[in-house]
Amino acid sequence: AQRVTQPEKLLSVFKGAPVELKCNYSYSGSPELFWYVQYSRQRLQLLLRHISRESIKGFTADLNKGETSFHLKKPFAQEEDSAMYYCALGRQGGSEKLVFGKGTKLTVNP
Amino acid sequence: NAGVTQTPKFQVLKTGQSMTLQCAQDMNHEYMSWYRQDPGMGLRLIHYSVGAGITDQGEVPNGYNVSRSTTEDFPLRLLSAAPSQTSVYFCASSRDRGNEQFFGPGTRLTVL
């Protein structure tokens, strides 16, 4: 069974501090991992996916198959990063459905 | 393109009432999904569709029906609303397998 765990419901950091949002997954096949973000009063949108290896808005995430993790990191948090972040798991090569974690609410304080 | 649209934005129902949440996309996406978002529970998949005429159950399908008669539309029906169905409902679509899901703005449903 596919499962995504985001251990922190809430995460609060100060502006300029590093931030790491944790995501661990359980899946017997080849995974494809995503981070989605929901800013206040906006719809969910894709932030990044592991296969693209991009850095979006200063965020990066590396898939660690040994630790079954896909943590989201940013070296210097900004106030506009405050949002709800969801880690999602699919099947490599594509899948009709994603399994989402319960989400982490990030607050970046001035 | 309007992207993924959902109506209504807000709805209040009484227990036992029925209603349909509408979802439409104008991107010619094959894949469409319905999720519910609850505090502390994240997003949970209700039903999904891989193309017109094809639907399947997700993680929490009980109490909900769907149909996909066209590529554009994917309505979600509550036949007899229950307070446990109070939630925010999101519709999403994607071009094909493995691609980015595009979400609608959500429908906030309250069942009294």
Least confidently predicted of A87-91, B49-53, B65-69, B81-85: A87-91
Q: What is the CA radius of gyration of chain B?
A: 13
What confidence tier does B47 reach under pLDDT thresholds 50, 70, 90? very high
With residue B14 as reference, give the H or E element that holds it.
none
If you write DSSP's letter for every residue of B23-83 in order, what string do you get? EEESS--SEEEEEEEETTTEEEEEEEEEETTEEEE-SS-TTEEE--SSSSB--EEESS--G
Phi, psi of B88 (to 5 degrees): -105, 130
Tokens coding B36: 């519910």
Chain A residues in contact with B97 by the CB 8 A cut-off are: 93-96
What confidence tier does A95 reach under pLDDT thresholds 50, 70, 90? low
Between residues B63 and B96, which one has the greater pLDDT? B63
A103 to chain B: closest CA residue: B42
**Mean pLDDT for chain A overall:** 91
For residue range B94-108, list pLDDT tens digits in order: 887 666 889 999 999
Q: Judge: B106–A43 Cβ closer than 8 Å, yes or no.
A: yes
Helix (H, G, I), strand (E, B) or coil at A79: helix
